Amino acid sequence: MPTETTASPSGGALTLLSEEEIMFRDAVAAFAEEEVRPRVAEMEKAGKIDPALLPKYFELGLMGIEVPDQYGGAGGTLFMVTLAVEEISKVDAAAAIVCDVQNTLVNYPILLYGSDGQKSKYLPMLTSDVVGAYALSESGSGSDAFGLATRAEKRGDRWVLNGQKLWITNGAEAGVFVVFANADPSAGYRGITAFIIERDFKGFRVGKKEEKLGIRASSTTELLLDNCEVPDENVLGPVGQGYKIAINTLNEGRIGIGAQMIGIAQGALDATIKYLQERKQFGKPLAEFQAIQFQIAQAATDVEAARLMVYNAARLKDGGKDIVREGAMAKLFSSQVCERVTSLCVELFGGYGYTRDYPVEKFYRDAKIGTIYEGTSNMQLQTIAKAVLK
């Protein structure tokens, strides 16, 4: 594959990208500027994604980046997903997570574990016009992801699911859901099984939408399963192997969250640098004060370090390597950096930074979720410790 050594769009350290990856990254960056940015303020105010934006994701191929072209996808890589999520997050993290979840948490497990029939049915839907969602969390099983209360019972040629899922990203827009339930509670986590559920299945309902601190345009909902009937052919992977599917899927998903975090941090930093070059105090731009220059230099270094960790984990995954440790490290560090950098950006804007007339307060609010979803920072530390001390 032809390669080119190119500076990152924000002028950071040199990164080796193929010509295809450069073109893809630039196309997504243009999309984010032209289609997403004009909608950000209104989507934030309304607390939902503009429905007119979703078809544009599909048209650009952003909802099936890793899916082979035989199913309508782009036949790309996790690294390309990373680039896409990063570029959109520089503009709006809520808009980016729609694409991220679709690729890393929905398409990925269906592509990897789905039967030929499931892949032939659902992947063309998910790459053309249907949004997907991933449903693992419950009120009593967050970090303890496998303490599921949702139950699945086999009845003839179908399964009946009962329970409640919480904090489901894309819940309001999704038409297809990857849902985890325990089919054999006596076996503990070894009874957990994955199912593909369509929105109109009998007994399935999307519940309330959460009001959140950040990524407000991204829908976060509850799912209600009241004797939800699921055909036997919609069991994803072997019965009782849902825990393996969930873990493997989240390993990939953490790379997407890392990409989101470096995008948020870079977006905030870019806006701050522009402000510092324009804002004058004591007769000169703030950017000329050495104390401020040093803070920006440190922030830029931290963001670049996080970017390289995320990129490295994505490259390793695309190369077929185990990324349990690297994925956890990338998510942990990028979310820490994102919090620090966005907080600094608010401070450097002064009083303006605390108002909604300027962009950095939104970047700051959007940053917080990175330490929580798809595995809290404490869970990442536990994963890293196990890998390092084994």
Active site residue 374: yes
**Helical ranges in the chain per DSSP H:** 19-31, 40-46, 54-59, 78-89, 93-101, 108-113, 116-128, 242-278, 290-318, 324-348, 360-367, 377-389
DSSP-derived secondary structure for 26-75: HHHHHHIIIIIGGGHHHHHHHTS--TTTHHHHHHTTTT-SSS-GGGTS--
Question: What φ, ψ does residue 199 adopt, rounded to 5°?
Answer: -60, -30
35, 86, 87, 374: the catalytic one is 374
- The identity of residue 65, as a single letter, is I
Contact 276, 106 (CB under 8 A): no
**Residue (of 193, 113, 114, 115) closest to 153 by Cα position:** 193
Residues classed as catalytic: 374
